């Protein structure tokens, strides 16, 4: 049984997270992904520990392992002319190239999109950068946290009002991850377009623009309402009640999305009269009287323990959930039932746990073929398979420190 992209070859020249995340997704869907890394040092995230796979510094970092399964590692020094030729040869055989170098860097090496279209006009060349391939900020570097800040996410993340904590970034590098997701969908769209046109194309995926795009309803609230969104803690600007409530022994997240659910929630809380109160009769009125309603509900939730409330809300058809930590999420019954955590061994026999791809295809399943690679583990293998390089050619390149 084949995977959806088993006929696709990807040259992944990216590092850190956004590009590697896209490469990993394409690999999960069956593509043959070759990760290009600098000799000796490799992807920066190989050194972003602890924790380390073997428990000691110098092993494989958990960060690197999170974004690089289903890839083969090839080391190439692209600052050398011979290394640049290796990349051209690989690009000639590839369907997709992913890169997140500073804008213009690969072009200076003769490896820009126009250069590589000359050797492979069907190539899908996807560039991920901080601020895009054009514009006054195109030369600026950028990391996830600064993008979260400068592209608006942190302005709506964190405790409400003037709380001492101030704006907060999300606890994972979500700007990088979402840029990687946009890159993945763009690559798939470009591959489909290529079927009709026979032509490849250059894709520009900026972290900043991606971050702005997925502000979603928050951006639209401003564009339509003219009011700048602010931090609201766990609350929602367009839904009430939709936030964390403290219970007698902890807390829970209540997510009421319509008037029927609100009436059901009031019934569970033993306060059905609230659903008939004119101040709370529909979502618009509840938003206008947010503070009064939240205060009334908060008092109710403090009367019972979290588990009791969650059981009662579930029975009442009211969406609510526990505020679980990651240890609970990866080990609870649902994780076991859904097989969220998988394990595979690398070439040295070390067992690597990982969170599976959430997508399930009925006919062309996601596959986990190779563990995150050791640095340069597949250099000889790929140069032989993709390019037909001889032992003598490979040895000569190694002696010249190209590989």
140, 129 contact by CB (below 8 A): no
- For residue 77, give the nearest of 33, 116, 111 by alpha carbon: 111
150, 131 contact by CB (below 8 A): no
Integer-rounded Cα radius of gyration of the chain? 25
What is d(CA 311, CA 242) in angstroms, rounded to the nearest whole number? 18
Peptide bond into 398 cis (omega under 30): no
Q: Identify the H or E element spanning 208.
A: helix 207-213
Classified as helix, coil or strand, 128 is strand
Residue from 176, 204, 209, 264 carrying the catalytic annotation: 176
Classified as helix, coil or strand, 155 is helix
Residue 139 to residues 101, 212, 213, 323, Cα–Cα distance (Å)? 10, 19, 21, 41
What is d(CA 262, CA 280) in angstroms, rounded to the nearest whole number? 9
Length reported for the chain:
403
Q: Strand 96-99 relative to strand 124-129: parallel, antiparallel, unpaired?
A: parallel
Cα 75 to its chain centre, rounded Å, is 25
What is d(CA 144, CA 206) in angstroms, rounded to the nearest whole number? 11
Q: Is 176 an annotated catalytic residue? A: yes
- For residue 318, give the nearest of 242, 381, 376 by alpha carbon: 242
Active-site residues: which are they? 176
């Amino acid at each position: 049984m084949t995977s959806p992209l088993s006929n696709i070859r990807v040259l992944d020249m990216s590092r850190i997270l956004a590009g590697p995340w896209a490469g990993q997704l394409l690999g999960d869907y069956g593509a043959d992904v070759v990760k290009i890394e600098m000799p000796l040092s490799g992807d920066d995230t190989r050194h972003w520990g602890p924790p380390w796979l073997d428990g000691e510094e110098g092993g494989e970092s958990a960060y690197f392992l999170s974004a690089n399964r289903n890839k083969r590692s090839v080391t190439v020094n692209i600052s050398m002319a011979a290394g640049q030729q290796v990349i051209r040869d690989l690009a000639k055989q590839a369907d997709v190239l992913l890169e997140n170098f500073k804008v213009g860097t690969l072009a200076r090496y003769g490896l820009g999109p126009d250069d590589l279209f000359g050797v492979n006009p069907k190539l899908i060349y996807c560039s991920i950068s901080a601020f895009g391939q054009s514009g006054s900020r195109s030369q600026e570097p950028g990391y996830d946290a600064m993008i979260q800040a400068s592209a608006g996410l942190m302005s709506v993340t964190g405790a409400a009002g003037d709380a001492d904590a101030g704006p907060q970034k999300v606890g994972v590098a979500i700007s990088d991850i979402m840029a990687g997701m946009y890159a993945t969908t763009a690559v798939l769209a470009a591959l489909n377009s290529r079927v009709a046109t026979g032509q490849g194309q250059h894709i520009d995926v900026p972290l900043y623009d991606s971050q702005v795009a997925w502000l979603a309803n928050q951006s639209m609230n401003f564009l339509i309402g003219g009011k700048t969104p602010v931090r609201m803690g766990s609350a929602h600007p367009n839904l009430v009640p939709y936030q964390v409530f403290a219970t007698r022994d902890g807390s829970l997240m209540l997510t009421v999305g319509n008037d029927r659910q609100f009436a059901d929630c009031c019934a569970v809380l033993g306060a059905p009269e609230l659903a008939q109160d004119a101040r709370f009769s529909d979502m618009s009125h509840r938003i206008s009287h947010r503070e009064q309603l939240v205060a009334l509900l908060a008092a109710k939730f403090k009367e019972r323990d979290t588990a009791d409330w969650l059981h009662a809300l579930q029975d009442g058809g009211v969406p609510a959930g526990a505020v679980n930590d990651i240890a609970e999420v990866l080990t609870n019954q649902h994780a076991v039932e859904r097989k969220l955590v998988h394990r595979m061994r690398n070439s040295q026999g070390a067992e690597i746990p990982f969170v599976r791809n959430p997508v399930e295809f009925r006919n062309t399943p996601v596959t986990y073929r190779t563990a995150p690679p050791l640095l340069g583990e597949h250099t000889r293998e790929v140069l032989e398979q993709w390019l037909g390089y001889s032992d003598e050619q490979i040895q000569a390149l190694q002696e010249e420190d190209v590989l």
